[in-house]
Amino acid sequence: MSKAHIIGLGKSGVAAARLLKKKGWDVILSDRNVSDSLQQQQQQLTQEGIAVRLGHSFEAETSLDLVVVSPGVPWDIPPLLRARESGIETVGEMELAWRYLKSRPWVGITGTNGKTTTTALTAAIFETAGLYAPACGNIGYAACELALSETPPDWVIAEVSSYQIESSNTLAPEISLWTTFTPDHLSRHHTIENYFNIKASLLARSQKQVINGDDPYLRQNAAKLWHNVYWTSVKGKANLVGDASKGVYIEDGWVVAFGEAIVAVESLGMLGNHNQQNLLMAVAVAKLAGIEKEAIAEAVQNFPGVPHRLEYICTWNAIDFINDSKATNYDAAAVGLSAVPAPVLLIAGGEAKDGNDSDWLRQIKEKVVSVLLIGDAAETFAQRLQQINFNNYEIVKNMERAVIRGAALGAKYDAKVVLLSPACASFDQYQNFEQRGDHFRQLSLALNQKKR
């Protein structure tokens, strides 16, 4: 019997273990951590015939035929390098899913920012058209969960991070999208060129490529790689790269795809120019997949948006509380600030990332009346604000104090918005950005309950 070791007891790892077990493999699943919830999962999986090792650091065993890596595990840690050097096949969870689902057409959506909204909107359009095409990867299902399903999907709509691409060397979607590109994850990928090349490799293996022509880096660098790209631009037909007949753009308030008016831009009830870019990309994919414009227009009209990305929570004393917890880097946070009306009371901080903060700081000077700083990055961010002569900030440490002070200062400064847009990862205080956003939502809604 072939033997596999899966690293990481998250959703992806558990789905991979169950898939391989179903296919007749002898499966071991391990995780470095130990907790009550992991122990409960361990009991359940053991009953299914899957061995689980908690508090375990992976080391390659000569008896292994396959190692499957969850997205959060760095691809170049020494034990994985040793496994590959000794001839043990090592793949990511999404690559494993691809091997069992490659008879189905895939849409692969990658980029630094904009992936989640574009993926969710694309899946909504396909669903409205009557197709079984659930979102998977970084949102929705783990890809291996779809491979386990009794009902095979009509399409696989996958949000694919750079982590997942580097561990998926044969994943070849029918259509791939590249939403944006700015420096991110450099602690893992080391250089911007390496990060770019990882993303580009997914599109290189795809039959059709859709690229955001409003992104300066992609416009300059991706145009050199492929000649038959479907480009998008919110700035109109004249701004398209390449053949306009293969372009998707905005003209007179309408999304025009390949020469045909599809849907009014105002149908999308989401803030920001960046969401119009996401809309164009989703429409491009839908048209390439043969979906009728009536279904596209209906899906766009009914799309509720994505939790944690400029998500409206409530209004308290005429101040809107907006959850942008998914803004985990400077570029995403700058986009969030640009999308909301001034004056803004900003909550920022967490686990800092490398990157260029100049646009984010410029937006703060232009639109923000006060910044409340939380998490490990609070002191560093305070110094950066001082360096640009922005002194209206407070270090409040945690989310509870941030929301309470946000409400008080918002009223003092007549702010239109209290915006959680951290420009940081969440791992200093939370398990993930979702938990951080959920906590902000809970605390913000409690303000209205207290008022009553």
151 lies in the same domain as 288: yes
Q: Domain of 34: which CATH number?
A: 3.40.50.720
Is a pLDDT exceeding 70 seen at residue 451?
no
pLDDT at 188: 55
Q: What is the largest CA-CA distance in the chain?
A: 68
CB 1 within 8 A of CB 17: no
- Least confident interval from 95-99, 243-247, 255-259, 434-438: 243-247
pLDDT (average), residues 315-332: 94
pLDDT (average), residues 131-137: 96
Q: How many CB atoms lie within 10 A of CB 190?
A: 11
295 lies in the same domain as 158: yes
Angle between helices 293-302 and 115-128 (to 10 degrees): 120
CA–CA gap between residue 186 and residue 422 (Å, rounded): 18
pLDDT at 183: 62
Q: Is the dihedral of CA 69, 71, 72, 75 positive or negative?
A: positive
pLDDT tens figures, 237-291: 999 988 888 999 999 999 999 999 999 999 998 888 889 999 999 999 999 999 9
Q: Domain of 298: which CATH number?
A: 3.40.1190.10
Domain ends where: 302, 319, 336? 302
337 lies in the same domain as 263: no
Is a pLDDT exceeding 60 seen at residue 187?
no
CA angle 199, 329, 401 (to 5 degrees): 155
Q: Is the dihedral of CA 198, 236, 127, 154 positive or negative?
A: negative
pLDDT at 190: 62
In this structure, the strands spanning 260-264 and 311-316 are unpaired
Is a pLDDT exceeding 50 seen at residue 136?
yes
pLDDT (average), residues 121-139: 96
244 lies in the same domain as 367: no
pLDDT (average), residues 421-432: 94
180 lies in the same domain as 213: yes
Residue 184 — very low, low, confident or very high, per pLDDT cuts 50/70/90?
low
pLDDT (average), residues 3-32: 95
Q: Domain of 444: which CATH number?
A: 3.90.190.20
pLDDT (average), residues 176-205: 82
Domain ends where: 87, 118, 152? 87
Residue 27 — very low, low, confident or very high, per pLDDT cuts 50/70/90?
very high
Is a pLDDT exceeding 80 seen at residue 144?
yes
CA angle 187, 192, 195 (to 5 degrees): 75
What percent of the chain shows pLDDT beyond 70? 98
410 lies in the same domain as 439: yes
> Which helix (H) or strand (E) is 261 found in, with range?
strand 260-264
Structural domain harbouring 140: 95-302
202 lies in the same domain as 281: yes
Residues pairing with 44 in the sheet? none
pLDDT tens figures, 249-259: 999 999 999 99
CA angle 392, 398, 401 (to 5 degrees): 65
Number of domains, the chain: 3
pLDDT (average), residues 79-91: 94
196 lies in the same domain as 152: yes
Residue 380 — very low, low, confident or very high, per pLDDT cuts 50/70/90?
very high
Domain ends where: 87, 104, 131? 87
pLDDT (average), residues 341-357: 94
191 lies in the same domain as 316: no
pLDDT at 452: 46
> Which helix (H) or strand (E) is 396 found in, with range?
strand 393-397
pLDDT tens figures, 227-239: 789 999 999 999 9
- Least confident interval from 179-188, 256-265, 331-340, 348-357: 179-188
269 lies in the same domain as 142: yes
Is a pLDDT exceeding 50 seen at residue 49?
yes
pLDDT (average), residues 10-19: 95
> Which helix (H) or strand (E) is 263 found in, with range?
strand 260-264
> Which helix (H) or strand (E) is 445 found in, with range?
helix 433-451
pLDDT at 271: 81
Spatial CB neighbours of 409, under 8 Å, sequence gap ≥ 6: 345, 369, 370, 372, 415
- What does the mean pLDDT of the chain come to? 93
By the 10 Å C-beta count (0-12 exposed, 13-18 middle, 19+ buried), 121 is classed as buried
pLDDT (average), residues 87-95: 96
Residue 191 — very low, low, confident or very high, per pLDDT cuts 50/70/90?
confident
Is a pLDDT exceeding 80 seen at residue 449?
no
The model carries a pTM of 0.85
